[in-house]
Amino acid sequence: MESEDIVYSKAYRLIKPEKFEEVILEHTINHNQVVVQPILASICHADIRYYTGQRRKEALQKKLPMALFHEGIGRVVKSKDESFFKGQRVVIVPNIPARRLKAPLINEKSSSYRRIVKDNYLPDSFFLGSGYDGIGQQHLVLPTENVIPVPENIPDEIAVLAELTSVSLQAANYVSDYFNDGRIAVFGDGPVGYLTAATLHHVFDISKENLLVFGAIDERLAHFDFATTHLVHDFNFREEANVISVIECTGGKFSNNAINQAIDLIEPQGKITLLGVSEEHVLLNTRDILEKGLTVYGSSRSTEDEFKTLMNEFQNKAFQRTLKKLIPNKNEVIRNVQDLEKTMDKAMKSKDWKKTYLSFKWD
C-alpha cells in the first residue's frame, strides 16, 4: 500500500558474498524527485567484485547489505516534476550528491568547499550500488538531475551502455585539449577500453591512424576496427613517436605494467588519464614522470553532463553499430533472487568479452 509521498520497493540485496536476500524498502518521495522502475541493467566488474567478495574486508563490512548495479535504464512510475511523464524511458545517473537528497536544499550548492568540486568527487556524494542501494530494486527515487530521458531512436540495449561510456567520456575530456597536437593511445582491450576508444573515435573524431589501442588478446583487439591496434608483449614503447595523450583502462593486476608502458610511450609534457581500478597499490616510474614533465589525472565515475552529451551522440547510427559489438546475444531475465544468483554465478565465471544484461520482471 502506497501513499502520495511513499513508495515501496522490492529489492535484491547482497547480504554476503554470493548471497542475495529479497527485502522491501520504503522510500520517501520529496520535491523534484522521480520514481523510476528499472527495466534493464548491465553488470559491471565492480558488481562482480562485491558478489565474489574480492573487495577489501572492511569495504564489504561497511557497504553490505546493499542492492547492486549502477548501469541501467528504467521507466518513470511517478514524478513530482512536470517535465517527466509516467512510462517515460530514462537512463539512470548513479552518482547522487548528498545535497540533492536533502529537501528543501536540493538545488543549493554545498558551502563546505571554497572551490568548485565536481559532483563525482565530493566525499559526501552517494553512488548507486556502492554503499547505497543500487538498480537491483523495483523502485528508485531519484533527483530529477539523475534521470535523463532516452530519445526514441536509441534502443534499450544501446542506452544501457551510457553509464560506462560516460566514464570514458569524462576521462577523455581531461586530455581533449591535446587531441589536435598528436596521437592518443588507449591501454586495455576489455569493455572499458573498447568504449573509451569508441568514444574517442565517434565523439571526438579521432581517426584510425591517430588512435592507438594496446591490448593482450588478439581476438579482443580484432573488435577495434576503427583504431590501430598492437599487442603489448611485442611492442617497443620507447620507439613510438608523437603520442601526446594516453588513457589507461586496464585496472587490476595489469595496471602496473600498463601505466609504466604509457610513461615509456608518451612524449614529454604529455597527459595520462588513469581509469582502471586496482585494489592494490601500483608502482610508478616517477623518474620519467618528472623528467618528461608529465601530467597524470585520476578519473572516476561521471556526472549528468556526460549522460546528456551521450544521449545526443548515441543517436549516431555509426556509433550504435560500434556499440552493438558489446551487446550480449540474449538478456538474462530476473524474476527473483534465485534468477539473480544464477546469473551472477555465470557472469563471474564467464570469459565472454560482451556485457551481461539483466532484464528485470517485477510483477
Range of the domain at 19: 6-154+315-360
Q: Which residues have CB under 8 Å from 173's CB, separation 6+?
A: none
> Could you tell me the mean pLDDT of each successive run of 10 residues in the chain, 363 residues long?
76 96 95 94 94 86 94 95 94 89 48 72 90 96 96 98 98 94 97 98 97 97 98 95 96 91 97 90 94 96 96 98 97 98 95 95 93
What pLDDT is attached to residue 98?
74
355 and 43 Cβ atoms separated by less than 8 Å? yes
Nearest CA among 69, 78, 75, 76 for reference residue 30: 78
Q: How many structural domains compose the chain?
A: 2
CATH, residue 44:
3.90.180.10
Q: Is residue 16 domain-shared with residue 148, that is, in the same domain? A: yes
Q: Is residue 36 domain-shared with residue 71, that is, in the same domain? A: yes
The 8 Å CB, 24+ separation contacts for 10-13 are 10/137, 10/138, 10/362, 11/67, 11/133, 11/136, 11/137, 11/138, 12/67, 12/68, 12/136, 12/137, 12/334, 12/337, 12/340, 13/64, 13/65, 13/66, 13/67, 13/133, 13/136
Q: Is residue 150 domain-shared with residue 172, that is, in the same domain? A: no
Give the 3-state secondary structure of residue 343. helix
129 and 63 Cβ atoms separated by less than 8 Å? no
Q: Is residue 236 domain-shared with residue 335, that is, in the same domain? A: no
What pLDDT is attached to residue 42?
98
What pLDDT is attached to residue 114?
65
